[in-house]
């Protein structure tokens, strides 16, 4: 959910950028923590606020018995706000070298492409010069910021949003602009691929020169020659949104995803293939999936094999995003492997890569999928219709990049922060023979491992008979403290943003800030969240501010009834769309005693009027018309 029309209400926060999220969270949570300490143990609090407990492992007899919420922890707000770098994607060049895009809090959030070493002893190298930051703002949330082919890098520069070309083979190669200077960051590019046959770069283009609220999106080609900057050449246009332009190995067919208002890409979208002439124009188009009004589906992530076969992910018939292939001869779609699991994520950002066709094994597809609250890494045999699960320490997976006889996997777990792991497979790609983390978003977090609370996946009943929702529960954990047996812990419940998104049970120092101080923490996937199929995702249609609020209250009550939380000390928090859920729960329900809305939506009408094009019709499906907007504001809808 965009930051437009967000406001402070029932909290002390005001409109703030995303980069201040961690500091804002910990500042507010520290206030709530001290409030609970002073209420339940005023004398003990003065001691704990000024001292730190020893980190050595203690027996139950040696531990300090103190009220929940009053425990001392080395995971401070400074540790939380400065701990993690962000990850914006990975790529491999023609020599098999790994590159990744990382954001650096120490450099005001600058995004830098880094080249990994060939072995453990070789240092990483920053590819991006200091005067550049690699980021596109296309479709507000960006993604697909860079691409590598051979020894050439093309990237979007944050300041002017122009595309630049840079040689990776020359140590001090300076980026050269590819697209025109329009007098400001008015035109953005994303999700590009190389057309080596015509020496050009094919990309999504978002043009905001006429209107920032009604940008024109298209697919264009950009000349990669050395003949100076040229205007992009228009290839595909006419619809509201485009993503995933993907070229076949011979450069003769271009696949892409498109969709139109009022749909979001996970509601309904279409997969098209265009045939390319010798001059580089698209002269013929075929709708592969999504064009039949009788079939509700949202195809995504098209990809060509080296043999020219088109694969993609869609949720037709089953309601789960599964792998499919296009049968070009009769323009039909065939499933590759069917499972009640999600093999893709909602298209909030460009450049997602949930599967790779293995070059060493033409019939095998390495993939990640999501089922019942965790991720799995697997290999699908497209000819035999079988799936082999690959065992790794990660319980959460994002993107996959194919390397030389290995996979580079973006993942995390309850004890691993977001990381890149090199996963080496055996000769038949059925087992993992080596797993090595080559990059970590928070390499120093392991020093607090004894304080980490492990997530417990829970399924709880909602207000609707027969319908359940899901969450991750983190119990209070501190190696130096324990509570009395009679006391139940205070609970902080988090409602994730989106709202069409999913919270995941991975290591977060924000969560550990709370649990190490004696709070229980629960992260809720309410009805409408992703990761559980279309039927679960569509529970929120026309009912945002109702289903999410009710599910959060049901989760809190479930934990109280299970003896895992104190009914008199329930709090709620959330940011952006989760902030709206927080405000609605505090205003219209009696479950929670306090809450913190971080850059939360407080005015649905204003949000709809001011937000960017990508989400400008989002609330048509989430809320409805003027009547529903009024009812939601009054809290009288049921």
Tokens linked to 54: 């020893």
CA-nearest of 368, 264, 253 to 303 is 253
Give yes or no for residue 587 having a pLDDT over 90.
yes
- Render pLDDT for 67-76 as a digit per residue (tens, 0 to 9): 999 999 999 9
What does the pLDDT read at residue 4? 34
* DSSP element (H, E) containing 217: strand 216-223
Q: Let me know: does 138 contact 206? Beta carbons within 8 Å.
A: yes
Lowest mean pLDDT among 177-186, 486-495, 616-625: 616-625
Q: How confident is the model at residue 501 (pLDDT cuts 50, 70, 90)?
A: very high
β-bridge pairing 364-371 and 374-381: antiparallel
Helix 577-588 vs helix 547-561: angle between axes, to the nearest 10 degrees?
70
What does the pLDDT read at residue 608? 85
Q: How confident is the model at residue 606 (pLDDT cuts 50, 70, 90)?
A: confident
β-bridge pairing 386-390 and 125-126: unpaired
What does the pLDDT read at residue 136? 98
What does the pLDDT read at residue 1? 62
Return the bridge partners of 157, or none: 134
Helix 21-40 vs helix 42-50: angle between axes, to the nearest 10 degrees?
140
**DSSP character string of 266-294:** TTS-EEEEEEE-TTS-EEEEEEEES--TT
CA-nearest of 520, 375, 542, 550 to 460 is 550
Q: How confident is the model at residue 374 (pLDDT cuts 50, 70, 90)?
A: very high
CB atoms inside a 10 Å sphere around CB 557: 16
Q: Is the peptide bond before 499 cis (omega within 30 degrees of 0)?
A: yes
- Render pLDDT for 232-272 as a digit per residue (tens, 0 to 9): 999 999 999 999 999 999 999 999 999 999 999 999 999 99
CA distance 165 to 322: 35
Sign of torsion, CA 178 184 187 188?
positive
Question: What's the whole-number mean pLDDT along residues 410-421?
Answer: 96
* DSSP 8-state code for residue 342: B
Q: Is the peptide bond before 532 cis (omega within 30 degrees of 0)?
A: no
Question: What's the whole-number mean pLDDT along residues 21-25?
Answer: 38
Tokens 């509570």 belong to residue: 483
Return the bridge partners of 531, or none: none
Return the bridge partners of 366, or none: 356, 379
Question: What's the whole-number mean pLDDT along residues 544-555?
Answer: 97
Q: Let me know: does 496 contact 305? Beta carbons within 8 Å.
A: no
Q: Let me know: does 282 contact 317? Beta carbons within 8 Å.
A: no
* DSSP 8-state code for residue 441: S
Q: How confident is the model at residue 629 (pLDDT cuts 50, 70, 90)?
A: confident
Q: Let me know: does 247 contact 231? Beta carbons within 8 Å.
A: no
- Render pLDDT for 159-173 as a digit per residue (tens, 0 to 9): 999 999 999 987 778
CA-nearest of 335, 346, 323 to 269 is 346
Mean pLDDT of the chain: 89
- Render pLDDT for 90-141 as a digit per residue (tens, 0 to 9): 999 988 999 999 999 889 999 999 999 776 667 899 999 999 999 999 999 9
Q: Let me know: does 1 contact 497? Beta carbons within 8 Å.
A: yes
Q: Which residues contact 198 (CB under 8 A, 6 or more apart)?
A: 221, 251, 280
Question: What's the whole-number mean pLDDT along residues 429-455?
Answer: 94
CA distance 570 to 43: 23
What does the pLDDT read at residue 119? 67
CA distance 183 to 164: 16
What does the pLDDT read at residue 49? 34
Q: ∠ at Cα 381 (375, 386), nearest 5°?
A: 70
Query: Measured between alpha carbons, how far apart are the two ends of the chain, in Å?
Result: 23
Give yes or no for residue 451 having a pLDDT over 80.
yes
Q: Let me know: does 441 contact 86? Beta carbons within 8 Å.
A: yes
What does the pLDDT read at residue 23? 34
What does the pLDDT read at residue 16? 29
Q: How confident is the model at residue 637 (pLDDT cuts 50, 70, 90)?
A: low
Question: What's the whole-number mean pLDDT along residues 514-526?
Answer: 98
CA distance 225 to 219: 19
CA distance 198 to 224: 9
CB atoms inside a 10 Å sphere around CB 513: 24
CA distance 56 to 478: 11
What does the pLDDT read at residue 22? 36
Question: What's the whole-number mean pLDDT along residues 395-419?
Answer: 95
Q: Let me know: does 601 contact 580? Beta carbons within 8 Å.
A: yes
Lowest mean pLDDT among 53-67, 429-443, 489-503: 53-67
Give yes or no for residue 19 having a pLDDT over 80.
no
Q: Let me know: does 269 contact 259? Beta carbons within 8 Å.
A: yes
Tokens 């599910």 belong to residue: 551
What does the pLDDT read at residue 3? 37
* DSSP 8-state code for residue 199: T
Tokens 């020359």 belong to residue: 170
CA-nearest of 134, 133, 138, 202 to 349 is 138
Q: Which residues contact 408 (CB under 8 A, 6 or more apart)?
A: 90, 92, 98, 400, 401, 402, 420, 421, 422, 423, 438
CA-nearest of 555, 543, 527 to 637 is 543
What does the pLDDT read at residue 6? 36
- Render pLDDT for 203-241 as a digit per residue (tens, 0 to 9): 999 999 999 899 999 999 999 988 789 999 999 999 999
Tokens 């994730």 belong to residue: 496
Question: What's the whole-number mean pLDDT along residues 328-348?
Answer: 97
Lowest mean pLDDT among 117-131, 395-409, 513-527, 555-569: 117-131
Return the bridge partners of 218, or none: 205
Can you give the length of the chain in residues?
638
* DSSP 8-state code for residue 613: G
Give yes or no for residue 534 having a pLDDT over 70.
yes
3-state SS assignment for residue 517: coil
**For the sheet containing 146-149, what is the strand order?**
146-149, 152-156, 163-167, 176-177
Tokens 């910990």 belong to residue: 26
Residue 279's region, left for phi above 0, alpha for psi from -120 to 50, else beta, is: alpha
């Amino acid at each position: 959910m965009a930051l437009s029309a967000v406001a402070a209400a029932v909290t002390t926060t005001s409109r703030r950028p995303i980069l201040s999220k961690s500091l804002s969270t910990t500042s507010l949570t520290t206030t709530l923590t001290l409030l609970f300490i002073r209420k339940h143990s005023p004398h003990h609090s003065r001691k704990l606020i000024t001292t730190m407990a020893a980190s050595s492992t203690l027996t139950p007899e040696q531990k300090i018995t103190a009220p929940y919420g009053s425990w001392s922890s080395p995971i401070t707000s400074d540790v939380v706000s400065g701990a993690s770098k962000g990850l914006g994607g990975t790529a491999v060049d023609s020599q098999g070298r790994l590159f990744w895009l990382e954001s650096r809090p120490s450099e005001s959030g600058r995004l830098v492409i880094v080249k990994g070493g060939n072995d453990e002893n070789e240092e990483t190298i920053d590819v991006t010069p200091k005067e550049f930051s690699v980021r596109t703002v296309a479709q507000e949330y960006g993604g697909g910021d860079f691409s590598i082919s051979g020894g050439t890098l093309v990237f979007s520069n944050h300041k002017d949003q122009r595309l630049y070309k840079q040689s990776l083979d020359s140590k001090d190669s300076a980026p050269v602009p590819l697209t025109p200077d329009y007098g400001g960051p008015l035109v953005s590019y994303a999700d590009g691929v190389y057309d080596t046959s015509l020496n050009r770069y094919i990309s999504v283009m978002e043009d905001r020169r006429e209107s920032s609220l009604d940008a024109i999106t298209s697919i264009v080609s950009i000349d990669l020659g050395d003949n100076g900057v040229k205007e992009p050449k228009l290839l595909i246009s006419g619809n509201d949104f485009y993503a995933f332009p993907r070229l076949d190995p011979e450069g003769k067919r271009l696949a892409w995803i498109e969709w139109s208002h009022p749909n979001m890409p996970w509601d309904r979208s279409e997969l098209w293939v265009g045939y390319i002439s010798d001059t580089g124009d698209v002269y013929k188009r075929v709708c592969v999936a999504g064009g039949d009004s009788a079939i509700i589906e949202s195809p995504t992530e098209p990809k060509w094999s080296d043999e020219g076969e088109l694969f993609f992910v869609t949720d037709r018939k089953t309601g789960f995003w599964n792998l499919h292939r296009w049968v070009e001869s009769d323009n039909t779609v065939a499933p590759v492997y069917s499972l009640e699991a999600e093999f893709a994520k909602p298209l909030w950002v460009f450049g997602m890569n949930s599967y790779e066709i293995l070059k060493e094994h033409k019939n095998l597809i390495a993939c990640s999928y999501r089922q019942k609250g965790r991720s799995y890494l697997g290999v699908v045999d497209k000819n035999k219709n079988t799936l082999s699960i690959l065992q790794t320490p990660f319980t959460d997976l994002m993107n996959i990049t194919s390397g030389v006889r290995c996979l580079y996997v973006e993942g995390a777990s309850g004890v691993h922060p977001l990381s890149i792991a090199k996963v080496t497979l055996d000769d038949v790609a059925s087992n993992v023979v080596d797993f090595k983390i080559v990059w970590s978003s928070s390499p120093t977090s392991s020093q607090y491992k004894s304080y980490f609370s492990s997530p417990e996946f829970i399924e709880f009943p909602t207000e609707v008979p027969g319908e359940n929702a899901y969450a991750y529960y983190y119990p209070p954990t501190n190696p130096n403290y324990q509570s009395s047996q009679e006391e139940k812990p205070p609970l902080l419940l988090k409602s994730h943003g989106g709202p069409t998104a999913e919270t995941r049970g991975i290591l977060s120092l924000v969560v550990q800030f709370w649990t190490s101080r004696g709070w229980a923490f629960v992260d809720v996937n309410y009805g409408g969240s992703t990761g559980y199929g279309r039927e679960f995702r569509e529970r929120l249609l026309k009912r945002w501010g109702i289903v999410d609020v009710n599910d959060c209250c049901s989760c809190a009550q479930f934990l109280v009834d299970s003896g895992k939380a104190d009914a008199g000390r329930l709090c709620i928090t959330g940011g952006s769309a989760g902030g709206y859920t927080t405000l609605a729960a505090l205003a219209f329900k009696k479950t929670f005693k306090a809450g913190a809305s971080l850059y939360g939506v407080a005015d649905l009408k204003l949000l709809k009027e001011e937000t960017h094009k990508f989400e400008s019709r989002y609330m048509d499906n989430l809320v409805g018309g003027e009547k529903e907007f009024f009812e939601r504001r009054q809290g009288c809808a049921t």
